[in-house]
Amino acid sequence: MSQLEIHIPENWPQAGQDKASETATTPFSWCLRGAGGKLLRAGRGTAESMPAADICHIVLPSSKVLLSSIKPPAQNRRKFMQALPYAIEDRIMADPESIHVAPGNEQENGEIPLAIVDRAWLGKVLDELRSIGLKPVRAEVETLLAPFNIGVWNLIWRGNGGFVRQGQNSGMPLDGGDAEHPPAALLLAIKASDNKPGSIQIHLDGAEAPDLGAWSSGLGIPVTSSGEWQWPASAEHGINLLQGGFAPGSTYAKWLPRLRPALVVAGLILGLHVIFTIGDWARLRFEKQRLTTSMEQSFRKAFPDAKVIVDAPLQMRRNLAELRHSAGIMDHNDFLPLLAEVAPMLGVEAQIQSLEYQQGILKMHLILTKSTALESLRVKLPQAKLIPGNSGPNGIEAELTIGKPS
Q: How many angstroms from the chain centroid is the CA of residue 396?
A: 17
pLDDT, position 264:
87
Whether residue 235 is contained in a domain is answered as no
Whether residue 287 is contained in a domain is answered as yes
Ranges of residues in the chain with a pLDDT under 50 are 250-254
Whether residue 190 is contained in a domain is answered as yes
pLDDT, position 251:
46
Whether residue 388 is contained in a domain is answered as yes
Query: For the chain, how many structural domains are there in total?
Result: 4
For residues 223 and 194, membership in a common domain is answered with: yes
- Given a contact cutoff of 8 angstroms between Cβ atoms, the answer to whether 201 and 224 are in contact is yes
- CATH value at residue 139: 3.30.420.380
Q: Which residues pair with 174 in a beta bridge?
A: 162
For residues 65 and 134, membership in a common domain is answered with: yes
Spell out the long-range contacts of 21-28 with Cβ–Cβ below 8 A and sequence spacing 24 or more. Answer: 22/128, 23/47, 23/128, 23/131, 23/132, 24/48
For residues 49 and 137, membership in a common domain is answered with: yes
For residues 57 and 12, membership in a common domain is answered with: yes
For residues 21 and 134, membership in a common domain is answered with: yes
For residues 130 and 14, membership in a common domain is answered with: yes
For residues 29 and 88, membership in a common domain is answered with: yes
* 291, 309, 329 - which closes a domain: 329
Interaxial angle between packed helices 373-380 and 335-346, expressed in degrees from 0 to 180 and rounded to the nearest 10: 130
Whether residue 238 is contained in a domain is answered as no
Residues spanned by the domain of 99:
3-144
pLDDT, position 360:
82
- CATH value at residue 182: 3.30.420
List Cβ neighbours of 296 (8 Å cut-off, separation of 6 or more).
309, 312
For residues 84 and 110, membership in a common domain is answered with: yes
Whether residue 245 is contained in a domain is answered as no
Whether residue 300 is contained in a domain is answered as yes
For residues 22 and 133, membership in a common domain is answered with: yes
User: Tell me: the pLDDT tens digits for 302-333?
Assistant: 788 777 777 877 777 777 777 776 776 777 77
- CATH value at residue 380: 3.30.1360.100
For residues 14 and 140, membership in a common domain is answered with: yes
- Given a contact cutoff of 8 angstroms between Cβ atoms, the answer to whether 306 and 315 are in contact is yes
Whether residue 239 is contained in a domain is answered as no
For residues 42 and 158, membership in a common domain is answered with: no
For residues 118 and 41, membership in a common domain is answered with: yes
